[in-house]
Amino acid sequence: MSSWALTSLPLFWTGVTLLVYLFTLTVYRRCGSHPLLLPVLTSVAIIIALLYATDTPYPVYAEHTRFLTLLIGPATVALAVPLYGQWGRLKRLWQPLLVALLAGSVTAIVSAVGIAWWLGASLETVRSLAPRAATMPIAMDVAAITGGLPSFTNVAVAMTGVSGAMFTFGLLRLVGVRDPAVQGFAMGLSAHAIGTARAFQENDTAGAFSALGMGLNGIATALLVPLILMLWGL
């Protein structure tokens, strides 16, 4: 248990988490939205440092911030609101979006499995990495069903989301992709919820299509991972 009396208060770590995020968000905006200062990344680093400095076990932190976790469900459902505003455009783009979904989902799975297999990773590790591009609840369930380690998948998903949120928009602009719908859908495919939060910082169109990409990729990953592993003989 922490040596600081305040850390034992139920709302202490909730308040600290919110303040840290607001601080890192302010720094991020004042530094021109530099990708290396992404609030998700810097907030995690600061929270870990505070937990270490106060000798607070992670289970204590998780219990004290449970209220924030409960907000994930309503926040996910609320993503349907901006997506509904794009309904007209969505009806015109559904065919290329489906092609992009299939290509992106298969590429994410095959690249993760292929690289891990080529580097000599254990079968359990390969199965854990396969669903890394899906949103965390789906990825962890897929890993458990296919014989992977959900805890390892958890880390892989987080790293995928943070790296995708940091670099996807920059890479897309580098190759000349400027359409916010295309940018957002690619972000949702590659960086799930963390990328979707980043997309909404760009504009509502990118955020809406990122939410769509995240949701569809979760479904596609759940269907394709077992099939690809079976065809690969894993």
User: Would you list the DSSP string of 68-92?
Assistant: HHHTHHHHHHHTHHHHHHTHHHHHH
Length of the chain: 234
**164 plus 108 within the same structural domain:** yes
Whether 211 and 95 share a structural domain = yes
| pLDDT, position 72 | 67
Whether residue 73 is predicted with pLDDT greater than 80 in this model: the reply is no
Nearest C-alpha neighbor of 192 from the set 129, 141, 136, 109: 136
36 shares its domain with 100: no
Do both 85 and 59 map to the same domain? Answer: no
Same domain, 56 and 115: no
Residue 7's pLDDT band (cuts 50, 70, 90): low
**pLDDT score for 3:** 47
Which of 27, 45, 70 is a domain's end point?
Answer: 70
Same domain, 125 and 56: no
Percent of the chain with pLDDT over 90: 6
Task: Give the count of domains, the chain.
Answer: 2
Q: Which whole number is the average pLDDT over 89-110?
A: 86
In this structure, are 15 and 91 located in the same domain?
no
Q: Is the pLDDT of residue 90 over 80?
A: no
Nearest partner of 221 among 142, 146, 136, judged by Cα: 142
pLDDT tens-digit readout, 20-29: 989 988 998 8
Tell whether 45 and 116 lie within a shared domain: no
Does an H or E element contain 196, and which? helix 180-202
Could you tell me if 53 and 169 lie in one domain?
no
Q: How confident is the model over 29-44, as pLDDT tens digits?
A: 888 877 778 888 888 8
Are 132 and 211 in a shared domain? yes
DSSP assigned state of 134: S
DSSP 21-37: HHHHHHHHHHTTS-GGG
Q: Among 22, 43, 70, which residue terminates a domain?
A: 70
Q: What is the pTM of this model?
A: 0.76
Domain that holds residue 180: 78-232
* Residue 190 pLDDT > 60: yes
Residue 70: both structure tokens together: 């409960």
Of 78, 125, 111, the C-alpha closest to 221 is: 111
Tell me which residue of 199, 154, 164 sits closest to 179, measured CA to CA. 199
Indicate if 161 and 104 belong to the same structural domain: yes
> Same domain, yes or no, for 156 and 64?
no
Highest mean pLDDT among 71-75, 82-86, 213-217: 213-217
What pLDDT is stored for residue 234 in this prediction? Answer: 73
Average pLDDT, the chain: 83
> Can you give the pLDDT at residue 6?
58
pLDDT value of residue 4: 53
